[in-house]
């Protein structure tokens, strides 16, 4: 027995018929030759004409048992037909007849409908088909189509009329579809909530404005009645009235309280009207509703505006005063009275307070404010702003603006605010911005400003001036031994002694750390500067009492004098700094005058060392990151942290220029800790961004390996930054490893037990052997770039690289080739079974933000 065709719900599939208004009945009338089948390709329903042609076809059978897909060249499968929008041609397996039409997917039923018509290519087939259908007693759409097909052999004009009729129907259908789409777009974009129900007020459609207004989603309300959703005991009468009106076919208009999904009520206006079919029967109801909450609130605000203004007038934190155009008082609030009473020695008799000039009796400078009042009388359209100093040492900020009525100024509104505390805070901030809080001395910014102005004056008057740098000898030792409290106490005491020994016009400032700068303007020669320098050294001679300890602290001075040692502030400071480090290099506790005889290379070295001492403190170091790449997968497997020094004057200082210096003077210890901590924190930040977790590699120097608490330091950094130890790799050069084999082995084993990965850097440049490599817990061998450079041209280098790779494979170590810059090198390394590489071919070292973008781009590619 043939099943009834299913009904079609509204859906949003791009090939759905929902927006055209078509139903299953329309399908069976227009396309009697149709098939409906499920996702498993089993027949669900068979059209009447199709059933008459093929009575042996039964629901539940596979479509492929009776038909094949002749055109197009796609798989005869459910998903393929769902996505195909052009004509398809079905061929009967047991009959010469073919059917041409389209497959339509009905998402709500999860069915594909093939809607077609016979496609006959010769007259014999047409005759056979006509005979088979001759027993039909009714003349439906299918028989009409067959008669038109039979006419093909006798009348070309009939065929043309059929084509024109089909084209006309298609055009009408397309127009109806466009009109339906336009109507749907209008409904979707409407600002008012729109509801469409069936005759029983069961919701069939709501627009986005309904969702915004009520808080319900479409899928929550479709199929429910309005009574189910919104009716309650409080509005029973209203709903009875609405129901009676619309059921009689009339339009209802009115306003009432709507209810949102969360239970809250809101005012709304509604128009509800019926839709009739051609027979005059009610088929649907349409409700257009508008949320008038904003209008109601506006009306309430307008109704309360006067009382609100009065309450605001009294509740404001400012004192408000209103005057007319002649300066007479019209009104004032309580805060105004409090501000002026609190500033007076006696209570103001407010009954006698009629003129604005009355308040000038409390001002320190009444004349200035009286002039302001007079100017406002003559120019009433302008606004005013004043800071008024009261006799009580308080400060009031006064502002005024004209009160207008249309284009005319009818008075003025004044506001007054106590700004005493704010002005004190601003004064304190200005002081803190220009002074060192620890010592009370001017800071670097103040010193630079004074130096610039003094130098301008010295140039104009052709007078010399001197700039000095003072650095405390071995201050770091005192700070580390006795603690920062003792160090701070020493700096305060030194500042006190320097103030004591300098002249009135001299300036001393704290430059940074334990460095002080001095500016001497009232001198006539270099000898005057030397005298003051010796005086400074002398004042440093007495012992300092610090935290119960008696200490002798000396200082070193560098001196540069205008115009001999420079004619601008930058040059004088640089030369005084160079002279300071020559003084320290000469044995400390002395001074040194800058002279042009200082060797330029030595000066550069000394200046570099000088700047290096303060680079970490001044946050001049930056870390660049260079990726290690698996060239087979294209994935970034690791980032190597590379230290860079971004000097404010010298620019980017090459690592080879300052790293050896840092090793020599021991600064590599704090610098190395900073690099380790920063790199670990950066890796954590990458992971927090959701980037794929990778290792970050940090280089360890020979000096750091001799650091007694190195293992504890690394553990502490990992704990502080919350980076798992497996995401940290430490790189140690082969030369460093061989300097102290046993110590290195002990340290690396402890780190290995912590879960930290180890890499031997620059492998091949030292003298390690396979036997030595086995002693150390290395995870990675990095092939030095000196071998990679000539890999493709020097057979010896290629043999060395091949041997290193073979050694690494024997020891089950990861191999990374450094310094890969060309595709030829990459291909050669791949042929030697080296898959991980690092170099400019893949990426130069990148600052943190660019490295982050690189990692994010890799995440997007995956």
Phi, psi for residue 258 in degrees, rounded to 5: -85, 165
At residue 16, the pLDDT reads 42
At residue 247, the pLDDT reads 82
At 399 the three-state DSSP class reads: strand
Cis ω before 72 (30° cut-off from 0)? yes
Low-confidence ranges of the chain (pLDDT < 70): 1-31, 120-163, 166, 231-235, 306, 341-355, 597-606, 764-772, 862
Tell me the C-alpha to C-alpha distance, in Å, between residue 68 and each of 60, 71, 86, 97, 100.
17, 9, 17, 12, 12
Strands 757-763 and 408-418: unpaired
Distance of CA 32 to the CA centre of its chain: 59
At residue 534, the pLDDT reads 92
Strands 728-733 and 695-699: parallel
Check residue 209 and give left, alpha or beta (phi > 0: left; psi -120 to 50: alpha): alpha
For 277-285, the CB contacts below 8 A with 24+ separation are 281/199, 282/199, 282/247, 282/249, 283/198, 283/199, 284/196, 284/197, 284/198, 284/199, 284/204, 285/196, 285/197, 285/198, 285/199, 285/201, 285/246
Q: For residues 332 and 818, what is the distance between their CA atoms, to the nearest angstrom?
A: 80
Q: Which residues pair with 400 in a beta bridge?
A: 384, 414
Where are the extended beta strands (E) located within 382-488?
384-389, 395-405, 408-418, 465-472
Q: How is 41-110 classified by DSSP, letter by letter?
A: SBEEEE-HHHHHH-TT--TTSBGGGTEEEEESSS-SSHHHHHH--S-EEEEESSSS-EEEEEEEEETTTT
At 402 the three-state DSSP class reads: strand
Contact residues for 789 (Cβ-Cβ < 8 A; gap 6+) = 797, 819
Q: Give the tokens for residue 583.
A: 């003084």
At residue 447, the pLDDT reads 96
Tell me the C-alpha to C-alpha distance, in Å, between residue 516 and each of 436, 492, 513, 537, 735.
11, 12, 8, 13, 41
H-assigned helices in 250-387: 293-315, 334-342, 366-378
Rg (CA), the chain: 46
Q: Give the tokens for residue 673.
A: 């800790």
Place of tokens 């680079």: 615
Tell me the C-alpha to C-alpha distance, in Å, between residue 491 and each of 165, 513, 575.
103, 9, 24
Give the domains, in start order, of the chain with CATH numbers: 18-181 (3.30.450.260), 190-297 (3.30.450.20), 316-423 (3.30.450.20), 435-598 (3.30.70.270), 670-861 (3.20.20.450)
**Is residue 304 packed enough to be buried (19+ CB in 10 Å), middle (13-18) or exposed (0-12)?**
exposed
CB atoms within 10 A of CB 721: 18
**How big is the CA angle at 118 (ends 116 and 119), to the nearest 5 degrees?**
105
Q: For residues 226 and 219, what is the distance between their CA atoms, to the nearest angstrom?
A: 14
Please tell me the pTM assigned to this model.
0.37
Contact 33, 52 (CB under 8 A): no
DSSP 588: S
The sign of the CA dihedral 774, 777, 780, 783 is negative
Q: How close are the terminal C-alpha atoms of the chain, in Å?
A: 54
């Amino acid at each position: 027995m043939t099943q009834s065709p299913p009904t079609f719900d509204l859906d949003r599939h791009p090939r759905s018929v929902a927006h055209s208004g078509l139903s299953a009945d329309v399908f069976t009338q227009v396309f009697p030759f149709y098939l409906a089948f499920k996702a498993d390709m089993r027949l669900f329903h068979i059209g009447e004409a199709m059933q008459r042609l093929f009575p042996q076809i039964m629901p539940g059978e596979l479509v492929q048992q009776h038909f094949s897909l002749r055109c197009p060249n796609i798989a005869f499968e459910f998903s393929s037909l769902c996505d195909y929008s052009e004509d398809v041609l079905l061929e009967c397996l047991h009959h010469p007849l073919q059917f041409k039409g389209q497959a339509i997917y009905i998402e709500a039923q999860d069915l594909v409908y093939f809607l077609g018509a016979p496609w006959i290519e010769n007259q014999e087939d047409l005759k056979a088909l006509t005979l088979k259908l001759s027993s039909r007693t009714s003349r439906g759409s299918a028989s009409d189509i067959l008669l038109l097909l039979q006419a093909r052999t006798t009348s070309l004009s009939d065929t043309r009329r059929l084509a024109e009729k089909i084209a006309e129907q298609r055009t009408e259908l397309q127009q109806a579809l466009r009109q339906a789409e336009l109507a749907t777009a209008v409904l979707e974009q409407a600002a008012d909530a729109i509801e469409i129900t069936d005759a029983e007020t069961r919701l069939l459609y709501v627009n986005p404005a309904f969702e915004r207004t009520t808080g319900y989603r479409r899928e929550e309300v479709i199929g429910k009645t309005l009574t189910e959703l919104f009716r309650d005991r409080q509005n029973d009468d209203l709903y009875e009235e609405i129901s009676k009106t619309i059921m009689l076919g009339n339009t209802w208009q009115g306003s009432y309280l709507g209810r949102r999904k969360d239970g809250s009520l809101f005012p709304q206006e509604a128009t509800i009207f019926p839709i009739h079919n051609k027979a005059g029967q009610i088929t649907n109801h349409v409700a257009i509703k508008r949320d008038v909450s904003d209008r109601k609130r506006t009306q309430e605000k307008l109704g309360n505006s006067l009382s609100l203004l009065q309450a605001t007038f009294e509740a404001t934190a400012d004192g408000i005063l209103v005057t007319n155009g002649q300066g007479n008082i019209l009104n004032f609030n309580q805060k105004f009275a409090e501000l002026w009473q609190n500033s007076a020695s006696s209570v103001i008799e407010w009954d006698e307070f009629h003129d604005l000039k009355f308040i000038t009796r409390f001002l320190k400078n009444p004349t200035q404010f009286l002039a302001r009042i007079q100017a406002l009388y003559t120019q009433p359209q302008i606004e005013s702003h004043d800071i008024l100093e009261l006799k009580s040492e308080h400060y009031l900020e006064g502002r005024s603006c004209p009160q207008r009525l249309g284009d005319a100024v009818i008075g003025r509104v004044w506001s007054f605010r106590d700004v005493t505390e704010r002005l004190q805070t601003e004064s304190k901030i200005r002081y803190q911005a220009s002074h060192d809080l620890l010592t009370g001395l001017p800071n670097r910014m103040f010193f630079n400003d004074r130096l610039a102005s003094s130098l301008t004056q010295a140039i104009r008057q052709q007078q010399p001036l001197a700039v000095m740098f003072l650095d405390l000898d071995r201050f770091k030792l005192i700070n580390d031994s006795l603690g920062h409290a003792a160090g701070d106490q020493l700096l305060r005491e030194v500042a006190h002694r320097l103030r004591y020994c300098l002249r009135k016009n001299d300036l001393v400032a704290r430059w940074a750390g334990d460095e002080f700068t001095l500016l001497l303007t009232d001198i006539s020669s270099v000898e005057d500067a030397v005298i003051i320098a010796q005086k400074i050294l002398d004042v440093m001679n007495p012992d300092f009492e610090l935290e119960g300890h008696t200490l002798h602290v000396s200082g070193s001075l560098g001196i540069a004098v205008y115009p001999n040692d420079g004619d601008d502030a930058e040059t004088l400071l640089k030369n005084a700094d160079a002279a300071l480090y020559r003084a320290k290099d000469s044995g400390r506790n002395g001074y040194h005058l800058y002279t042009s005889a200082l060797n330029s290379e030595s000066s550069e070295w000394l200046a570099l060392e000088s700047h290096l001492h303060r680079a970490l403190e001044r946050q001049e170091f930056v870390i660049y990151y260079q990726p290690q790449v698996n060239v087979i997968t294209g994935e970034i497997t690791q980032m190597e942290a590379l230290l860079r020094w971004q000097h404010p004057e010298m620019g980017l200082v090459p690592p080879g220029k300052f790293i050896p210096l840092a090793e020599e003077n021991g600064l590599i210890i704090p610098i190395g800790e900073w690099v380790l901590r920063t790199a670990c924190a950066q890796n954590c930040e990458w992971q927090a961004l959701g980037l794929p977790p990778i290792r970050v590699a940090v280089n360890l120097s020979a000096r750091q390996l001799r650091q007694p608490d190195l293992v504890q330091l690394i553990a502490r950094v990992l704990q502080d930054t919350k980076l798992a130890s497996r995401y940290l790799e430490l790189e140690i050069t082969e030369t460093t490893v061989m300097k102290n084999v046993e110590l290195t082995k002990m340290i690396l084993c402890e780190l290995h037990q912590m879960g930290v990965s180890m890499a031997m850097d620059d492998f091949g440049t030292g003298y390690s052997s396979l036997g030595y490599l086995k002693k150390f817990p290395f995870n990675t061998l990095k092939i030095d770039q000196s071998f990679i450079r000539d890999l493709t041209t020097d057979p010896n280098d290629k043999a060395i690289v091949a041997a290193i790779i073979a050694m690494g494979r024997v020891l089950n170590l990861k191999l990374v080739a450094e310094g890969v810059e060309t595709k030829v090198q990459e291909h050669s390394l791949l042929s030697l079974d080296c898959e991980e590489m690092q170099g400019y071919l893949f990426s130069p070292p990148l600052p943190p933000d660019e490295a982050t973008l690189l990692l994010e781009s890799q995440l997007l590619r995956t």
